[in-house]
Structure 1
Amino acid sequence: MAAFVVFYSTPIDEAKLAEYSAKALATVADHGGSPVILGPLHPLHDGTPYQRGAIFSFPDRAAAIDWHESEAYRSLAELRGEAMQCSIHIVG
């Protein structure tokens, strides 16, 4: 069954966000994932502390976890923290 990684984020540094995004997207693809949608959030109920959202599809939960725990993605943690405030979840 497919699994989805859901990001909620607020940019801190647009230049670092662009660098992080390019590098992170490559790691997603390396684990069989693909972007579903990326864009601004439009809160419908109770608001959100974040400005943007992104959803990535993976073949299954194991692939999503393998991606998140991979050395390639984990090596981007510092850059991610400099680029944005975020919350990341796996659904499925």
Structure 2
Amino acid sequence: MPAYFICTMTVHDPETYLQYTARTPATVARHGGRFLTRGDAVATVEGPAFTERLVILEFPDRASAMAWYDDPEYQSACAFRRAASTGRMILQEGRENTKDPDPKIE
């Protein structure tokens, strides 16, 4: 099942952040991932305005997603992201049933 990294960040040093973005695509591709969105415009439809940068990555499965995250070349690139921004990266696995999945309210 596919797995998705949903990443939000506030960039305070764009020049340094570009050092991160220049290194990331090759590492994503090496682990079978792809960008679904990468800093594109976001429209807030409901709730407080979303003002952060948003990136969504898709990987074939959770193992591939974590292999990318743990890749030494990617972790080296992360030094630029951590120096230039604050944010979060969350991992969510997809489901086979996308028509009417269990809502999993607990």
Q: Which category of TM-score, normalised to the shorter sequence, fits these structures?
A: 0.7 to 0.9
**Residue identity matched to 1:62:** A
Larger of the two Rg values belongs to structure: 2
C-alpha RMSD of the superposition: 1.7
Contact kept? 2:3, 2:58, Cα under 8 Å? yes
Structure 2 gaps, min length 5: 94-106
SS in 1 for 2:79: helix
Structure 1 residue 75 displacement after superposition:
1.1
Q: Which residue of 1 aligns with 2:64?
A: 63
Distance in 1, matches of 2:75 and 2:64, equals: 15
Cα 1:8–1:30 change in 2 (3 A) is same
Rounded to whole Å, the distance in 1 between the matches of 2:42 and 2:9 is 9
Cα separation, partners in 2 of 1:82 and 1:40, compared to 1, 3 Å: farther
1:37 aligned to 2:50?
A: no
Greater strand share, 1 or 2? 1
Structure 1 runs of 4+ off > 6 angstroms?
Answer: none
- Alignment map for 1:1-92 (pairs within 5 Å): 1-38=1-38, 39-47=40-48, 51-92=52-93
What are the Cα deviations for residues 13-55 of structure 1, in whole angstroms up to 9, with x where unaligned?
1111222112012211111100001224444455377511010
Distance change >3 Å, CA 42–CA 49, structure 1 → 2: closer
Residues 9 and 86 in structure 2, CA contact (< 8 A), matched pair in contact too = yes
Q: Which structure 1 residue ranges, 5 or more long, are not aligned?
A: none
What CA deviation, in whole Å up to 9, does each residue of 1:62-90 have, x standing for no partner?
00001001111111222111221120011
User: What fraction of aligned residue pairs are identical, expressed as a percent?
Assistant: 28
Report if the CA contact (8 A) 1:20-1:80 is conserved.
yes
Distance, in Å, in 1 between the alignment partners of 2:89 and 2:68 is 13
Equivalent residue of 2:32, what SS?
coil
